[in-house]
Amino acid sequence: MSLWSRADGRAIDEMRPVTIQRHFLEEGEGSVLVKFGKTTVLCVASFTEGVPRWRKDSGLGWVTGEYAMLPRATSDRSSRESVRGKVGGRTHEISRLVGRSLRAAVNMQALGDNTIVLDCDVLQADGGTRTASITGAFVALADAVNWAVAKGIMKPAPILTDSISAVSAGIVDGHAVLDLPYEEDSRADTDMNVVGTGSGKFIEIQGTAEHEPFSRDELGTILDLASIGNAQLAKIQREALLGENAIDARIIGGAW
């Protein structure tokens, strides 16, 4: 086991280089380009006043997400879902995950009668597109909330209760590793996506035994790695949001 090493030379608990570029485009109340290694996702937040019809008169806001891949995000071109005329199962599943994860960080009463849509479009995919999407979308969400507060639409209260990020961890060649690129992901025995808060709690855990069922011990090891990853991501998000063009820190609550 001492001779085993990852194809890209990383330690087992080491993330790929992560960058978060805010204000990538001018359109969008938040516009973030996030990279986990080669994986590149454009996360754009759209703020609109009002909520969907079924949410009317509840006094609560709404946050939702849509995920998609450009046709040549991967090494082979895929046909567009618009051309095929329907959204595929994987797209549906990840869109729902993104929205659900971010909603967990939002004080809907504080958001009030407003809706924020997070569009996560994968420009390049090399494993971890859903975790990069959630991580980048949180930053775009914070920018959108900050925009609304600056506009006076909402008050500078902790509308976001904590930060949210996501990372994958899994078992490859019998080794538990953090943040799997496509090369590892495609042959992992177990692959888990963990959405966590800045204060170290869990929002969503999705673990799948791709080839071998996994034990309670293996699960523990994977969760340990994921927690290391999410702690790093929370720090990077914080630096991005409080660096240049810092947001009003009061809009994010908790230990953050």
Residue numbers belonging to the annotated binding site for phosphate: 90, 128-130
Using CB under 8 A, which of 59, 71, 174, 243 touches a second copy?
71
Give the amino acid at 98: V
Is 100 one of the binding residues for a second copy (CB under 8 A)? yes
**CA dist list (Å): 28 to 42, 155, 199, 255:** 11, 20, 28, 28
Q: Which two tokens stand for residue 204?
A: 């969503």
Q: Which two tokens stand for residue 75?
A: 């090494």
- 62 close to 108: Cβ distance less than 8 angstroms: yes
- 121 close to 176: Cβ distance less than 8 angstroms: no
Is 12 one of the binding residues for a second copy (CB under 8 A)? no
Using CB under 8 A, which of 172, 214, 232, 256 touches a second copy?
214
Q: From CA 6, how far away is CA 180, in angstroms rounded?
A: 10
Is 42 one of the binding residues for a second copy (CB under 8 A)? yes
- In the bound state with a second copy, the residue whose beta carbon lies nearer, of 96 and 175, is 96
Give the amino acid at 179: D
Using CB under 8 A, which of 12, 60, 87, 228 touches a second copy?
87
Footprint of a second copy (CB under 8 A): 25-28, 31, 38, 40, 42, 44, 46, 48, 66, 68, 70-75, 77, 80-93, 95-96, 100, 104, 117, 119, 121, 123-125, 162, 192, 196-197, 199, 201-209, 213-216, 219, 223
